[in-house]
Structure 1
Amino acid sequence: MATNNFDEIINRSLELRKKYHELEIQHHGSEWTVEEDALAYLTDAGLVGRNIMSQQNRWPKTNSESELEHKIGENIWWLIVLAERSNIDIKNAMENFLTKTEKLIG
């Protein structure tokens, strides 16, 4: 079921991150740092690129369509998490970006 409410997406994302923090503590004795979260995001961003290449028949890989969808969602999730961990309101960041860029482009 698709979610249309960005607040709900943010809340679900942050709750899911809390569960991952619990797993990190269980397996490694501590939560990932913000830097580790950023590195995980960058890794997943690279996988978006690889799956796009595959989708466009520029890289030999199977299942790229479903993996691409998953990785795009995961990248959005990571951005929500990174914004929250950096004390940035993701909704304000998006609004400010869109407004500034719309004015710039015309």
Structure 2
Amino acid sequence: MEKDNFDEIIRRSIAIRKKYHELEMTHHGSEWTVEEDALAYLTDAGLVGRDIMSQQLRWPKVGSEAELEHKLGENIWWLIVLAERSGIDIKDAVHNFLDKTETVLK
């Protein structure tokens, strides 16, 4: 299967988040707030750190390689979701960051 372009990744990410909102309504009677999404992202970011430590043999954990791949993808998904929920175009944000950083490092 061919890898998706970034627009398609964004579209799929937002569609998945909408499905999770439906589950939240079913289980809790309300959707998670942006703050709750941010907390979930930070939790997953912390797990990336542990999985990296495990991959580098600095933390004992079985199965961390597959989880690391999953969590890296999930963290990108969360960033897309957080950008969308905050009214920020993630493509512009990444482009602007790269431009600014490349200029600083010249």
TM-score range, shorter chain: over 0.9
Change (3 A) 1:56 1:2: farther
Consecutive unaligned residues of structure 2, counting only runs of 5 or more, are none
Aligned to 1:66: 66
Aligned to 1:75: 75
Q: Which digits, 9 at most, give the CA deviation of each residue in 1:38-93, with x for residues without a partner?
A: 00000000000000000000000000000000000000000000000000000000
Paired residues, number? 106
Aligned to 1:48: 48
Aligned to 1:17: 17
Pairwise CA RMSD: 0.7
Structure 1 Cα separation of the partners of residues 9 and 55 of structure 2: 27
Consecutive unaligned residues of structure 1, counting only runs of 5 or more, are none
What's the TM-score once normalised by structure 1's chain length? 0.98
Structure 2 Cα separation of the partners of residues 95 and 36 of structure 1: 27
One-letter amino acid of the counterpart of residue 76, structure 1:
I
Aligned to 2:92: 92
Question: Does the 8 Å contact 1:55/1:64 carry over to 2?
Answer: yes
Q: Which runs of 4+ in 1 moved over 3 A?
A: none
Q: Which moved more, 1:52-61 or 1:1-10?
A: 1-10
Aligned to 1:102: 102
Structure 2 Cα separation of the partners of residues 11 and 2 of structure 1: 16
Q: Report % sequence identity.
A: 77
